[in-house]
Amino acid sequence: MTQDQQPDRSSLEARVEELEASLAQSNGKLSQREAEVAELRKQLEISRLVTGTLIHDLRNPLSIILTYLAFCQDILPKDEGSSDFPSKMGEYLGEVYSATNHMHDIMTHLYNLMDPKWGVMLFDTDIYNYIIKPGVSRSGLDVRYYPETLPTDQDTVYADQFIARRVFDNLLKNAADHGGDNPVITVGHRINKGRPELYVRNTGSYIAEADRRKVFNLEVRRPESEGLGLGLNLCKRYAELMGGYLRADSSGQPSDGNMQNAWAEFSLGFPLP
């Protein structure tokens, strides 16, 4: 090849730059599309969670409302001399108000969760005063609280308060429903492998090691359980939506049906800031 036939170096460099720019542009478009797909998948998951929560959680307060309204009807005075009416009516209407207010809170938070402007909101949260204490109060259960020895700053977790409360409420209900007769329910928080965790443990039930992942599957539901079997599945998906996790543990495998030493525990892991 003669010197005249050799490609001009500056032309080659210009062509390389042109191809690199085109490749960068293509990569940028690909990254943008990937981000759009990820956002759509996130919104789809939120929509599924909202639908599942509406089906699962709103049934409980509505059932309470209907029950106590029926009680109110039963004690409506047949004559003006009924002595139970004033006190009992106040008690029953108080329960109706509490359940209705709880339903209103659920609807409000679900609306915010679906709004792209809000979505998942992570804040520093006092784990006892904003999650454990109000959750135990709402449940009406006799619960033991064991905060494990933690530095003061680790009493605060990074969480979406609505999601953390919903998961904790469901874990308490699960412990009461599946702990057998008079279960001992214990809640606490700790650091596990550098991640803060909130746990709910109940006596009287056991989850085999092979089932500790399966228990979160939508189709898994214990035969004695009423409802749709959405609770633990929703809890796990909510935990993952805020960047956390949910895991199951158990010990005291029963022998001949004796559940005396058996316990099951669910731990909610929080995201790191």
**pLDDT score, position 151:** 46
Separation of first and last alpha carbons in the chain:
63
The answer to whether 197 and 164 are in contact (CB under 8 A) is no
Residues 136-155: tens digit of each pLDDT: 988 888 898 876 654 455 57
Alpha helical stretches, state H, 154-270: 161-178, 231-241
Residue 167, domain member (yes or no): yes
Torsion of CA 186, 190, 195, 201, to 10 degrees: -10
On the question of pLDDT at 97 being above 90, the answer is no
Domain count, the chain: 1
- As given in the structure block, the two tokens for residue 266 are 């669910």
**pLDDT score, position 217:** 84
The answer to whether 183 and 203 are in contact (CB under 8 A) is yes
pLDDT band at 78 (very low <50, low <70, confident <90, very high): low
**pLDDT score, position 251:** 92
Alpha helical stretches, state H, the chain: 9-57, 59-75, 85-114, 133-139, 161-178, 231-241
Tell me which range, 41-55, 63-77, 190-204, 216-230, is most confidently predicted by mean pLDDT: 190-204
Residue 82, domain member (yes or no): no
Q: Tell me, what DSSP letter sits at residue 174?
A: H
Residue 17, domain member (yes or no): no
The answer to whether 156 and 148 are in contact (CB under 8 A) is no
- As given in the structure block, the two tokens for residue 91 are 């008690």
CATH classification at residue 170: 3.30.565.10
pLDDT band at 227 (very low <50, low <70, confident <90, very high): very low
Residue 249, domain member (yes or no): yes
Residue 250, domain member (yes or no): yes
Residues 107-124: tens digit of each pLDDT: 777 777 766 666 678 888
Q: Given the DSSP bridges, would you call strands 185-192 and 143-145 parallel, antiparallel or unpaired?
A: parallel
The answer to whether 186 and 141 are in contact (CB under 8 A) is no
Residue 66, domain member (yes or no): no
Structural domain of 243 = 121-273
What is the C-alpha to C-alpha distance for residues 81 and 83, in angstroms, rounded to an integer?
6
Residue 217, domain member (yes or no): yes
pTM (predicted TM-score): 0.66
Residue 264, domain member (yes or no): yes
On the question of pLDDT at 241 being above 50, the answer is yes
What is the C-alpha to C-alpha distance for residues 68 and 15, in angstroms, rounded to an integer?
79
pLDDT band at 6 (very low <50, low <70, confident <90, very high): low
The answer to whether 124 and 57 are in contact (CB under 8 A) is no
Residue 100 burial (CB count, 10 A): 14
The chain-wide mean pLDDT, for the chain, equals 79
What is the C-alpha to C-alpha distance for residues 236 and 210, in angstroms, rounded to an integer?
18
Cα angle: 139, vertex 56, 215; to 5 degrees: 85
Residues 229-240: tens digit of each pLDDT: 458 888 998 899
